[in-house]
Structure 1
Amino acid sequence: MAEEFYKGGQRAWFHDQGHWGGFFHTYDQLQLKGFGAYFDQPRKIHVFLPRDYEVTGDRLPVLYCNDGDHIFFPDGDFGQCWQVAERLSRLYLREQLQKLIVVAICPNDRAYEYSHIPDQGGGLGDYSRYLAKGLKPFIDAQYRTQTDQTLIVGAAQGGLAAFYTATQHPRQFPQVAALSPSFWLGLEANPMSINGLDGAFKISLENSALVFAATPVLSNPKLRPKIYLDWGLMADAQHQEARARLRGQEMRSLLIEEFQYQENMNLFSLEDPLGRHDELAWGDRLETILQLFF
């Protein structure tokens, strides 16, 4: 049964789903002011804390996850989730991962918040500012965090949003993992209407608005984030994973050739032979990511 409490002036609910790895603080209506009419609206945030959080006094790294309604509970569009609580429980029990705090951010309007293209949403700039200047300071103030040990993660369009956020706010988000990222967004006239992959790559990623916006940070060795990219090799009906693979490979080459990233130093990439464009595949790959960064 959930128990109501207040933290930082925000109403939250303590609930314990019996996971060995921890328990939840859920803010159903977290409301942070000063970010414009849209982003001043309440949103749902899940915070997953290690079971011994209240007694250890340790400061912990923080994992921020886009698509927060798909991270812990199978209540998203497809009835799947990343199963992060179960995966953390296994990793902790095997002593394969240090304890951390997970913050799962549920979108109010995913298409708007996760797009940097004005005619395909366009709210990503404000969303990333909300995360960097609003949500992260709130979490750092209310929980015992290691403020410089932060990783932002997302998949598909949420992966694009994570990459964008880290390249716009690298001091707040110095590490990013973009799984099957939708780097093609804005580079196709209508990606859902394209038959197969014909015409999907007429505009290079190098000339995209995404890379243009990221260039100042990617070019600065003192600011550039540590980046992880991945994609699966299994086909899907809308060719989304094939797009993720081809644009991911293009981004990896661009980071190495144009921005002097070094593989296995500050750039990591993975091809998953069994990877599909779904939450279970992304959850499977998250275990490797967490061990890599934390």
Structure 2
Amino acid sequence: MAEAFERGGQQAWFHDHGHWGVFFHTYDNFQLSGFGEHFDQPRKIHVFIPRDYEVSPDRYSVLYCNDGDDIFFGDGETEQSWQVAEKLSQLYLRDQLKKIIVVAICSGDRHYEYSHIPEDDGGLEEYSRYLAKGLKPFIDENYRTIPHSTVILGASRGGLAAFYTACKHPRQFPQVATLSPSFWLGLDSPSYSMSNLDKAFKIKLQNSALMFALTSTLLEPDLRPKIYLDWGLRDDPGNEYEIRSQCRCMEMIQVLTTEFDYQEDHNLFIVEDPNGSHSINSWGDRLPNILQLFFD
């Protein structure tokens, strides 16, 4: 079942896939202006809404997700999905989570939007501004949200992008969940040998362009975001990206706790998944606990 409608000057369509707790608004050509040539182009946005939204007066917390093609439908390169609709329905049925709105942002050019490295043709600074100053105000103006109760989430490069966005714009995104993040981007060769890790990790994260860009926020205790970090521990052949994520996450934890006085289980939450790999299935499996941590 699908029905076209207009909201906030944007064309969308309502569709219902029979999930117990939720239905969809999809903006196939969501378009804003004033964010530069790349980000003024149309993109697809999915908004996942509690089933009783139209008859309830409630306001809702919001989860923003990078790699929106993979969140619900498996439309990305792997053709796999986090199965967020199914997981939310199960949590609602078990009364384990209050209802939320989920916004899934489909990338236009993932390599460009999720990179902060200028020499890598990175547009992450502009992407984070697009989310904070463009998309989030649209959602808050056109849906019944709780503007300060917001989490941005991503995995791999999407996790790096989520972390960067929350630290650049903590008033709009005061909480971030970053799964198996690519903190190594701009520091480590994509083709380094796993048998030579000491050489691969000679450049310290604390001296990186990433930390330089985010230090001013992280130094502000009343402003900086609450952070969730995780990685998987499976040492399978071909799982080099997860090993790399683990090494740089452990380094990030050291930087956050010693340089910026973050405190574990207070404003920094860390999870090691013994069965986790660098995969959508692993990230989806960890999602329910993340939602309960931030929204319960």
- Can you list the C-alpha shifts for 1:84-115, whole angstroms capped at 9, x where unaligned? 00000000000000000000000000000000
Q: Is 1:195 the counterpart of 2:196 in the alignment?
A: no
**Counterpart-to-counterpart distance in 2, 1:215 and 1:47:** 32
Give ranges in structure 1 of 5+ residues lacking alignment.
none
Could you say which residue in structure 2 is the equivalent of 1:141?
141
Q: In structure 1, what is the equivalent of residue 94 of structure 2?
A: 94
Q: Deviations over 1:158-184 (max 9, x none)?
A: 000000000000000000000000000
**Counterpart for residue 243 of structure 1:** 244
Corresponding residue of 2:258:
257
Look up the match of 1:205.
Answer: 205
Deviation at 1:238, TM superposition (A): 5.4
Per the normalisation by structure 2, the TM-score is 0.97
Report deviation, 1:2: 1.6
Whether 1:47 and 2:9 are equivalent positions in the alignment is: no
Structure 1 SS opposite 2:200 = coil
In the alignment, what sits opposite 2:284?
283
Work out whether 1:233 is the aligned partner of 2:229: no
Q: CA deviation at 1:197?
A: 5.4
Give the whole-Å Cα distance in 2 for the aligned partners of 1:76 and 1:127.
19
Matches for 1:51-200 after TM superposition, within 5 Å: 51-188=51-188, 190-191=189-190, 193-196=191-194, 198=196, 199-200=199-200
Amino acid in structure 2 at the alignment position of 1:196 = M
Are the counterparts in 2 of residues 113 and 121 from structure 1 also a CA contact under 8 Å? no
**Aligned-pair CA distance for 1:20:** 0.6
Q: TM-score, normalised by structure 1?
A: 0.98
Gaps of 5+ in 2: none
Alpha-carbon deviations, 1:123-156, whole Å to 9, x = none?
0000000000000000000000000000000000
SS in 2 for 1:12: strand
Distance 2:182 2:195 in 1: 14
CA RMSD of aligned residues (A): 0.9
| Matched-pair contact (CA < 8 Å) for 1:197–1:239 | no
Separation (CA, whole Å) in 2 of partners of 1:41 and 1:197:
43
CA shift at 1:200, angstroms? 2.1
CA distance in 2, matches of 1:151, 1:9: 25
String of CA shifts for 1:20-54, please: whole Å, max 9, x gaps: 12000000000011101110000000000000011
User: Could you report, residue by residue, the CA deviation over 1:187-231 in whole angstroms, capped at 9, with x for unpaired residues?
Assistant: 02x31x222252321100000111111111111011010000000
Q: State how many pairs are aligned.
A: 292
Which deviations, in whole Å up to 9, do the C-alpha atoms of 1:261-288 show, x marking residues without a partner?
Answer: 0110000000000001111110111111
